[in-house]
Each structure stands twice: as C-alpha cells, then as structure tokens.
C-alpha cells in the first residue's frame, strides 16, 4: 500500500465507513475502492474493518493501530512537502512582535535592529505597549510574538514560553542620598522615601505595590511615568528613588547616580512568547530561532 492508498483508507474511516461517500470524495468508483481495500487485507493476511452483511461497520483492533499510523505518516508527508516548498522560497513576509517600551529600549533594541538590517524582505511590525495590553492582544492571536515578563498569567495551553534573560529590580538614586551608604537595601528602607516609579501600565509597578504591601511600607510616590530615562533623570539630582530593571545601568552612565540591589529582590525575567501550535511557518520559526540564538550567544559571552 502506497501513500495514495493510505489516503484512501483514512478517507473511508472519516466518511463513517460509507464507501459510496468515500468514493465520491476520492473521485474513484466504489467497486474499485472496495477491491483495493480487500486486496490489501488479503495480501497482508489481516482484517482492518469489522463487517456485517458485506458492509463496513468499524475498525478491528489491527485497523485502529493502522489508522493511527496512517494519519501520522500522511501528516509527516504533508509537512515535508510544505517545508520543501517553503525552503525553496526567499524569506519574505510580515512578523508582528509586541514589546513593552522598557524592554525594547533596555534589552531588545540591538536584536531587532539586526533582524531588520539583515532581512530587508521581512516586514517587522513592532507593537510598543504595556504588558497588560500585549497579553490581551496575544490571547486574541493578534501577535506572532510577545516579549513578556514572568509570570505571564496566560493559560499554558495557549502559550509557548522561553526564558531570554534573568535579572532583578534595583533601586537607583543620587550618590549623596542617605541610603547610598548601604551595600544592599531592605524594603523597609523605602518607607516614607520620595519615589518616582513606572506607571500602572507596567507590570513592574504592580510588583512593587505588592512588595510594599507585603512589608507594610508606604513610600511617598510623587511621580509616575512610562519613561525610564525620565525617572532616572528625576533621581539623578534629587532625593527621589526609582526602581527599575538592573540592566538599565548599562544604558544610563552617570557618576551622580548609583544602583542599589535589594536583599529580597523582585525578579525581572524576560520571556519570548508565541502562540502554542503544532507547527509554525518557516518565517515564524526562523525569527524565533534567531532571537533565541542571539540571547544564548549573549549569555555565553558574558558567562
């Protein structure tokens, strides 16, 4: 039995064992289809179908196993043809990537630039929104990829998550601040301190509030912004403290501002997320592998 015959067999089963209906779908005669099935059973000395008065009623135990394997073989064959066709074509198409502005500026600017420069035939649509908005768009399948923070709180049955970077939140302040003498900060140190933090569209703000509640402290939050560099400017020449991802220190080099880590830090783990599917098209898989390899190479160089 070749692939064409496997296809006939599967169509018969999916037609509820109605040979007339299956024959119409396959554009062959019913007697020819019936003879093909019988000839294969006789040649292999097996029975695939249960029969009653000459009519197919269902599958035997052998037939059940054969049916499962036939479906797998046909699927693999279809996937192989698709990959061959896609492989012969140039990488071209559109990719939608949702990235929170903070992550785009601190973590993702270089990899996105490299993708755009080296793949001019791929159209990259970058959606800059807060994590909450991106999560909503992700769940209605408006994004090919979303860069989110762990945990995403998205149903694991619909999301494929991969860790890109592990870090934590740090406090940034003027080097003359009263807390600047400490090696590490305890959260109660922030009680009654002037603070400028990210606005509620950022998950970081909610993580901070949860930590403040856990330690029963009340900082004086006098400014909120969606701009991390603005928050750093506010803290640079004042008594304000801001709390941002630790990697920000690589992008804001100023001798007047220092970073202080926490004894009980809040994690800041960046995830590459995509909708969970049994198979991804060539361009989607290529971009996925490119991003993962980029961050794996970065980890290796800094190890």
Mean pLDDT computed over 9-23: 90
pLDDT in tens, 57-71: 899 999 899 899 988
Q: Which of 238, 229, 245 is nearest to 195 (CA)?
A: 238
In terms of Cβ atoms closer than 10 Å to its own Cβ (0-12, 13-18, 19+), residue 143 is buried
Q: Are strands 184-185 and 257-262 parallel, antiparallel or unpaired?
A: parallel
- pLDDT at position 7 is 85
* Residue 258: per-residue pLDDT: 94
What is the rounded distance in angstroms from the CA atom of residue 158 to the CA atom of residue 102? 25
Looking at residue 90, what is its pLDDT? 61
pLDDT at 300 over 60: no
Residues 69-113: tens digit of each pLDDT: 988 888 887 777 666 555 544 667 899 999 988 888 888 888 888
Structure confidence by residue, pLDDT tens digits, 220-263: 999 999 888 899 999 998 999 999 999 988 887 788 999 999 99
Radius of gyration of the chain (CA): 29
What span, in angstroms and rounded, lies between the C-alpha atoms of 196 and 177?
14
**The pLDDT of residue 218:** 95
The answer, yes or no, to whether residue 20 has pLDDT greater than 60, is: yes
Q: What is the mean pLDDT of the chain?
A: 88
Give 28-41 pLDDT, tens digit per residue.
888 888 888 888 88
Collapsed DSSP state (helix, strand, coil) of residue 11: helix
Cβ neighbours of 226 (radius 10 Å): 16
Confidence (pLDDT) at 81: 63
Report the predicted TM-score, pTM, of the whole model to 2 decimal places: 0.65
Query: Which residue reads 């992550």 in tokens?
Result: 103
User: At a CB cut-off of 8 Å and minimum separation 6, what does 223 contact?
Assistant: 195, 196, 197, 231, 234, 240
- What pLDDT is recorded for position 88? 43
* Residues contacting residue 46 through CB under 8 Å, at least 6 positions apart: 62
* pLDDT tens digit sequence for 117-173: 888 888 999 999 888 888 889 988 899 999 998 888 899 999 999 999 899 999 999
- Diameter over CA atoms, the chain: 95
β 93-99/145-149 pair status: parallel
The whole-number pLDDT of residue 171 equals 96
| Mean pLDDT of the 260-286 span | 92
CA distance 255 to 236: 9
């Amino acid at each position: 039995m070749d692939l064409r015959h496997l296809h006939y067999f599967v169509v018969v089963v999916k037609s509820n064992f109605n040979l007339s209906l299956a024959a119409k779908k396959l554009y062959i005669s019913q007697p020819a289809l019936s003879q093909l099935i019988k000839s294969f059973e006789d040649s292999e000395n097996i029975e695939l179908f249960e029969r009653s008065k000459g009519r197919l009623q269902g599958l035997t135990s052998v037939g059940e196993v054969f049916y499962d394997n036939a479906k797998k073989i046909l699927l693999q064959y279809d996937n192989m043809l698709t990959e061959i066709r896609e492989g012969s074509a140039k990488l071209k198409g559109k990719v939608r990537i949702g990235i929170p502005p903070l992550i785009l500026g601190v973590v993702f600017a270089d990899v996105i630039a490299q993708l755009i420069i080296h793949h001019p035939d791929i159209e990259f649509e970058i959606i800059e929104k807060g994590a909450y908005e991106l999560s909503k768009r992700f769940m209605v399948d408006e994004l090919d990829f979303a860069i989110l923070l762990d945990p995403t709180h998205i149903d694991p049955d619909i999301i494929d998550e991969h860790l890109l970077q592990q870090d934590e939140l740090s406090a940034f302040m003027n080097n003359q601040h009263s807390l600047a003498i400490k090696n590490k900060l305890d959260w109660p140190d922030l009680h009654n301190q002037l603070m400028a933090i990210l606005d509620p569209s950022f998950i970081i703000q909610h993580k901070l509030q949860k930590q403040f509640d856990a330690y029963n402290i009340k900082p004086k939050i006098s400014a909120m912004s969606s701009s991390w560099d603005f928050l750093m400017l506010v803290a640079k020449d004042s008594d304000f403290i801001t709390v941002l991802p630790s990697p920000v220190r690589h992008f804001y080099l100023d001798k007047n501002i220092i970073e202080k880590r926490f004894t009980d830090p809040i994690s800041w783990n960046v995830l590459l997320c995509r909708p969970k599917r049994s198979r991804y098209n060539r361009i989607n898989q290529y971009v996925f592998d490119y991003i993962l390899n980029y961050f794996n190479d970065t980890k290796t160089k800094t190890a």
